[in-house]
Amino acid sequence: MNSSIRALPLTHLQPQNLSLAANTVVSQRLPSTLELKHQVPLTAALHEQVSAHRQAVRAILDGKDPRLLVVVGPCSIHDPQSALEYAGRLADLSRNLSEDMLLVMRAYVEKPRTTIGWKGLAYDPRLDGSDDMVGGLTLSRELMREMLKLGLPIATELLQPMAAGYLDDLLSWVAIGARTTESQIHREMASGLGMPVGFKNGTDGGVGIACDAMRSAAHPHRHFGVDPQGHPAIIETQGNPDTHLVLRGGHRGPNYDRQSIAQVHHNLAKAAIPTRIMVDCSHANSGKDPLRQPEVFDDVLEQRLQGDRSLVGMMLESHLFEGCQPLGKDLRYGVSVTDGCLGWEATETLLRRAAAKLRQQARTEQAPA
């Protein structure tokens, strides 16, 4: 059927011959991922640090490290100054709790939108609709590098696959969101990432889609993509063995309770997927009330303390101050502009209390009979 199609010489491929995409305009070219990485480079020491952090996360997922993995930070980053202040506090806390927890900084610079709205720091760093994506990607990379210098592992949600290559060398953990877990493109992307990836359950609360995603991402793929120089390319991936499930609840309510966790165990076993579960204490699991996150955290922690070591991690949306605010001219410092967050004081209290419980259990288990 395609035998009559012939390739045109490159001299014939002029813009006027390619007018089918009449509703799109190229307003500005982006730097290649390689160019931006050269512009905002990592030192050899930071490269080694990221590698060590990734291995630490893998060890927790594999049960080789008994610590609890906690991804914690703002729902989204809109103000680099307050984000860095938060990161500094988290780095100090991490050093105090490092025997019991691996704290990972949640540095989300892309935000999925149900319809329209601010898409995140990488898209619109000036918060004014100007969509300076070159500036946003540069600022996001610079900000994450400063967080790395504090000694923190970095986590983010990768929403736009084209943006992933600008940030991937900075990250120790990645989330694929509930709306994109079903996407073949995101599964292919995850199969080539060099760090652990958490797939969130679908918005209906079921885990079947996430199970399919983890099985897909574990396999090698060949897919359309862009190489580090910015050219369209066929990308070959090796498959990612370090995926796991993130429970965030669904339209029917939470899915972190004991009955739900037991059903998740059954579903993962049926799909022959390692039982490695992180619970997102926000979203539907907290009824979209950020102040209920400690309640969810404590319930899941108790399940873990009672013997369910498949519960390897938790996620918290937390900022310097609780709540959220709409975008506007006079923004309150350290308050989220997307989902509501737990404040720092409540977050620190929660994590210190949890670490004490984990430490006490470890001592009890190590005590001679």
| Alpha-carbon gap, residue 109 to 321, rounded angstroms | 19
Confidence (pLDDT) at 9: 54
Q: Per-residue confidence at 115, pLDDT binned at 50, 70, 90?
A: confident
Q: Which residues contact 107 (CB under 8 A, 6 or more apart)?
A: 73, 77, 83, 87, 143, 144, 147, 154, 155, 156
118 or 114: whose pLDDT is higher? 118
CATH code of domain 30-362: 3.20.20.70
Confidence (pLDDT) at 350: 98
| Alpha-carbon gap, residue 318 to 295, rounded angstroms | 14
Per-residue pLDDT of 315-335, as tens digits, reads 999 999 999 999 998 999 999
Task: Tell me: pLDDT of 307 over 50.
Answer: yes
| Alpha-carbon gap, residue 61 to 47, rounded angstroms | 21
Confidence (pLDDT) at 96: 97
Task: Tell me: pLDDT of 291 over 90.
Answer: yes
* 109: phi then psi, degrees, rounded to nearest 5: -115, 5
- For residue 219, what are the β-bridge partners? none
Cα–Cα nearest to 37, from 124, 136, 141, 146: 141
Please state, rounded to an integer, the average pLDDT across all residues of the chain.
94
Confidence (pLDDT) at 339: 96
Cα–Cα nearest to 312, from 153, 152, 104: 104
Of the candidate ranges 2-11, 66-75, 219-228, 278-287, the one whose mean pLDDT is the lowest: 2-11
Per-residue pLDDT of 15-36, as tens digits, reads 555 555 567 778 889 999 999 9
In this prediction, residues 198-207 reach a mean pLDDT of 95
In this prediction, residues 78-106 reach a mean pLDDT of 98
Confidence (pLDDT) at 1: 45
Domain residue ranges of the chain, discontinuous segments joined by +: 30-362
Per-residue pLDDT of 357-369, as tens digits, reads 999 998 888 877 6
In this prediction, residues 11-16 reach a mean pLDDT of 56
In this prediction, residues 197-218 reach a mean pLDDT of 96
Q: Mark out the alpha helices in the chain (DSSP H runs).
A: 33-39, 44-61, 80-97, 133-149, 161-167, 184-191, 208-217, 258-270, 293-305, 344-366
Confidence (pLDDT) at 114: 79
Q: What is the DSSP letter of 332?
A: P
Confidence (pLDDT) at 27: 81
User: Tokens for 132?
Assistant: 């300076």
- Residues of the chain with pLDDT > 90, as a percent, come to 88
pTM (2 d.p.): 0.93
In this prediction, residues 8-20 reach a mean pLDDT of 54
Distances (CA, A) of 304 to 300, 301, 311: 6, 5, 6
Q: Per-residue confidence at 153, pLDDT binned at 50, 70, 90?
A: very high
Task: Tell me: pLDDT of 116 over 90.
Answer: no
What distance lies between CA 85 and its chain's CA centroid? 20
Q: Per-residue confidence at 271, pLDDT binned at 50, 70, 90?
A: very high
| Alpha-carbon gap, residue 299 to 311, rounded angstroms | 11
In this prediction, residues 82-99 reach a mean pLDDT of 98
In this prediction, residues 189-218 reach a mean pLDDT of 97
In this prediction, residues 276-286 reach a mean pLDDT of 97
Cα–Cα nearest to 197, from 222, 226, 172: 172
* 90: phi then psi, degrees, rounded to nearest 5: -65, -35
Cα–Cα nearest to 197, from 235, 157, 250: 157
